[in-house]
Amino acid sequence: MHNGKARAFTNIALIKYWGKKDPKLILPMNSSLSLTLDAFYTETSVSFSKDYTEDLFYLDGYLQEGEKKMQKVSRLLNLARKQAGIYDHAVVHSHNFVPTAAGLASSASGLAALAGACNEALALNLSSTELSRFARKGSGSACRSIYGGFAEWKKGDSDQTSFALPVDANQWENELAMIFIITNDKAKKISSRNGMQQTVETSLYYNDWLKAAEADIKTAKNAIANQDFHALGEVIEANCLKMHATTLAATPPFSYWTPDSLKAMNKVYEMRQNGQNCYFTMDAGPNVKVLCPKKDSQKIYNDLQKEFSEQQLVLAHAGKGIESLETEVSK
């Protein structure tokens, strides 16, 4: 029996990953940049044993049955077994301290935690870069959750060259906050994976998105290097809007937005007009995330409370990188 357990925090992309060049290897069309957060995370344990007759995956206590629900997990288990040179089946228990599949990055924390748990269980001794590359093959965004603070997933052009690295912000990440406006925590109808594929294949705006994303990542990295909040805010908000524009020009067209998403975005515009320092971003889901300086976060939170209930608002700060946890059963 080989046991391992890990905790990984979610990360929210400030410059989005949106589209795959190679869906099997999960090589992205563009580089992306994220902030790992402390409020949402996943804890996953895995055990490999010759006594097991099949792979089993329990999420929040419920057995996930069927190929679709097992897809991302199976991919990592198979790769881990190959690397370790074993054939044992595995049992995975995962707990999301984040709503699942709601556009709040459960796949990032979930697959990063599984990658970390496999690394522990099978003593793979992966470096951070190797662990990032491994997590990437479970879910692209997971490769950034290996690190705390800012991370950049460099798109690369092969399995070897596509992985995330930390972006040194001279601790500036600790002066920032992100407020989540949770308009809906239920699973979305179109997964990130399917949404981005449909967009790559059919969106009239996809090539323009790619050009914009390359330029935006440079602007964002400069803003981080200069600790320029407004420059960072402007580019991340515009980048998210450009990503969402691609879905409207897909066939068939689709959108992750709901009336409440628009209400939240308008509230951010309104607060900014009133002199507040805040910008939004949104992922593949209806929820809105507001980036602001930590020193202003309480005031912005209070203003948001005029429109949204306390249950809908979550205040987050920069989170840590992946960590190993003690397993209950000794090895």
Structure-block tokens of residue 6 = 């890990």
d(CA 227, CA 261): 28
User: Applying CB under 6 A, does 192 fall inside the site for ligand ADP?
Assistant: yes
Query: Is the Cβ of residue 107 or residue 327 nearer to ligand ADP in the bound state?
Result: 107
User: Applying CB under 6 A, does 105 fall inside the site for ligand ADP?
Assistant: yes
Query: Is the Cβ of residue 169 or residue 288 nearer to ligand ADP in the bound state?
Result: 288
User: Applying CB under 6 A, does 242 fall inside the site for ligand DP6?
Assistant: no
251: phi > 0 → left, psi -120 to 50 → alpha, else beta; which? beta
Return the residue of 103, 148, 233, 319 that touches ligand ADP, per CB under 6 A: 103
User: Applying CB under 6 A, does 106 fall inside the site for ligand ADP?
Assistant: yes
Interaction partner, residue 106 (ligand ADP, ligand DP6, none; CB < 5-8 Å by kind): ligand ADP
How far is CA 255 from its chain centroid?
19
* Beta carbon of residue 270, minimum distance to ligand ADP (angstroms, whole number): 27
* Beta carbon of residue 39, minimum distance to ligand DP6 (angstroms, whole number): 16
Structure-block tokens of residue 80 = 């881990």
* Beta carbon of residue 157, minimum distance to ligand DP6 (angstroms, whole number): 17
Give the position of tokens 């092969």.
Answer: 158
* Beta carbon of residue 243, minimum distance to ligand DP6 (angstroms, whole number): 7
User: Applying CB under 6 A, does 145 fall inside the site for ligand ADP?
Assistant: no
- What is the bridge-based pairing of β-strands 62-63 and 2-15? unpaired
Interaction partner, residue 101 (ligand DP6, ligand ADP, none; CB < 5-8 Å by kind): ligand ADP
- Residue pair 297/177 in contact by the 8 Å Cβ criterion: yes
Any idea what DSSP says for residue 328?
S
Query: Is the Cβ of residue 48 or residue 180 nearer to ligand DP6 in the bound state?
Result: 180
**Residue 318's beta-bridge partner residues?**
37
Helix 128-136 vs helix 67-84: crossing angle, to nearest 10: 150
Handedness of CA 311, 315, 321, 323 (dihedral sign): negative
Cα–Cα nearest to 168, from 293, 33, 317, 277: 33
Contact region with ligand ADP (CB under 6 A), list: 101-109, 123-131, 254-262, 308-316: 101-109
User: Nearest 5°: phi and psi at 179?
Assistant: -105, 125
User: Applying CB under 6 A, does 284 fall inside the site for ligand DP6?
Assistant: yes
Residues that bind ligand ADP (CB under 6 A): 42, 44, 59, 72-73, 94, 96, 100-108, 110-111, 114, 191-192, 283-285
Residues that bind ligand DP6 (CB under 6 A): 13, 16-17, 26, 32, 107, 139-141, 192-193, 283-284
